[in-house]
Amino acid sequence: MPINAGYEYVAAEKKYLQAQTLEEKITCLEEMIRSAPKHKGSENLLSELKTRLKKFREKQEKNKKTGKTTKKGVKKEGYQIALVGLTKSGKSSLLSKLTNAKPLITPHPFTTKSPEIGTLYYEGVKVQVVDLPSIGSEYFDQGVVNTADLLILVVGNLEELEKIKPYVSRAAGKNITAVNKVDTLNPEQRRKLEATLRSKKIHGILISSVTGEGIQELKEKIISAMNIVRVYTKEPGKPHSPLPIVLPVNSTVKEVAENIRKGFSSTIKETRLTGPSSKFPNQKVGLSHILKDRDIVEFHTN
Ligand SMILES: Nc1nc2c(ncn2[C@@H]2O[C@H](COP(=O)(O)OP(=O)(O)OP(=O)(O)O)[C@@H](O)[C@H]2O)c(=O)[nH]1
Ligand SMILES: [Mg+2]
């Protein structure tokens, strides 16, 4: 690390050391060269970085000629969300707000060259979040867009939404629109944006990946789009479980019991329920009772 290297250089170098593909290494090197201090003491470093970059670019050219691909695949783990949008809309910034992933974020276009993956933990629910290379990038992955369970269309303005639409027309999952960078709007621009969303009947969420505005609301929207219920279990006389059992919407008491242990439902003598699906606390319900999100069930066995 050169003397007086700034935050950007340090971040790019860290990412460089973890890079798995040639494309990622090239992007990180470019960023390191851009952000390295430019003075006498860093000349050697700069020329060394440039030589390395040149070598990698040559290797990339050779790979292209021989048809070798270095595209990194994405393994789907559980419920999967993909962040989709044009370049610089703030997908990588949003990934770092939603998960513990540390993708490279720069003010330059097409920084993300292979999918970045993070895990969102929210109120007992675990979700895989994939930050995709931008639309228009040669590394954009239409396959992930088509198969993800949910898409978040990350845009800087509503015109971008129109440009994204053709790419998501064959998607299997639903989508949520997140209008990012609202911290840069003045009150008048914000009013206009909200009015346009209303008139076009777009259920967009206003977010800022810098200030964190709207991130909580986005997480709630993600959970409700997942069509799941979170059910807490409880033993008589004790507080309910800290983590919920996550089941598809319209699941029954029997399904909760079977989720705990196969065959468990046949040993239950009585079920007491407190929560959104009960008429009153501690209501006695049958095994076929349909649950709602955040219900608490208490099983009595003999
Ligand atoms: N003011 C403001 N800037 C943002 C916000 N989100 C992202 N940015 C900035 O926008 C630039 C691009 O952000 P990225 O997250 O790298 O964008 P991306 O969509 O991943 O873009 P590429 O991967 O490069 O195609 C960076 O300089 C970010 O700091 C935001 O909510 N507010
Ligand atoms: Mg990015």
Give this prediction's pTM. 0.79
Work out the widest C-alpha separation in the chain, in whole angstroms. Answer: 80
CB–CB of 267/249 below 8 Å?
A: no
Q: What is the pLDDT of residues 149-172, one digit of tens each?
A: 999 999 999 999 999 999 999 999
Where along the chain do the CATH 3.10.20.30 domains lie?
A: 228-301
Instruction: Enter the DSSP assignment of 36.
Output: S
In this structure, the residue with its CA closest to atom 16 of ligand 1 is 105
**Structure token digits, residue 127:** 């979700």
* Cα gap 116→83, rounded to integer Å: 10
In this structure, the residue with its CA closest to atom 27 of ligand 1 is 107
Q: Give distance in angstroms: CA of 174 to centre of ligand 1.
A: 24
Residue with the bigger pLDDT between 122 and 71: it is 122
* Cα gap 75→89, rounded to integer Å: 25
From 30, 86, 105, 182, the mutation candidate for ligand 1 (largest count of ligand atoms within 8 A of CB) is 105
Side chain identity, residue 244:
P
Where along the chain do the CATH 3.40.50.300 domains lie?
A: 80-225
If one looks up domain 80-225 in CATH, what number appears?
3.40.50.300
User: Which ligand has an atom closest to residue 137 CA?
Assistant: 1
If one looks up domain 228-301 in CATH, what number appears?
3.10.20.30
* Cα gap 150→58, rounded to integer Å: 38
Q: What is the mean pLDDT of residues 258-263?
A: 94
CB–CB of 175/152 below 8 Å?
A: yes
**Structure token digits, residue 142:** 């239409």
Q: What is the pLDDT of residues 273-301, one digit of tens each?
A: 999 999 999 999 999 999 999 999 999 99
Q: Is 211 in the pocket of ligand 1 (CB under 6 A)?
A: no
| Exposure string over 116-130, b if 16+ CB within 10 A, otherwise e | bbbebeeeebebbbb
Q: Is 107 in the pocket of ligand 1 (CB under 6 A)?
A: yes
Q: What is the pLDDT of residues 190-219, one digit of tens each?
A: 999 999 999 999 989 999 999 999 999 999
CB-based burial of residue 268 (10 Å sphere; 0-12 exposed, 13-18 middle, 19+ buried)? middle
Write the CA distances from 19 to 12, 89, 138, 211, integer angstroms: 10, 23, 18, 28
Instruction: State residue 124's pLDDT score.
Output: 84
**Considering the chain, what is the average pLDDT of its residues?**
92
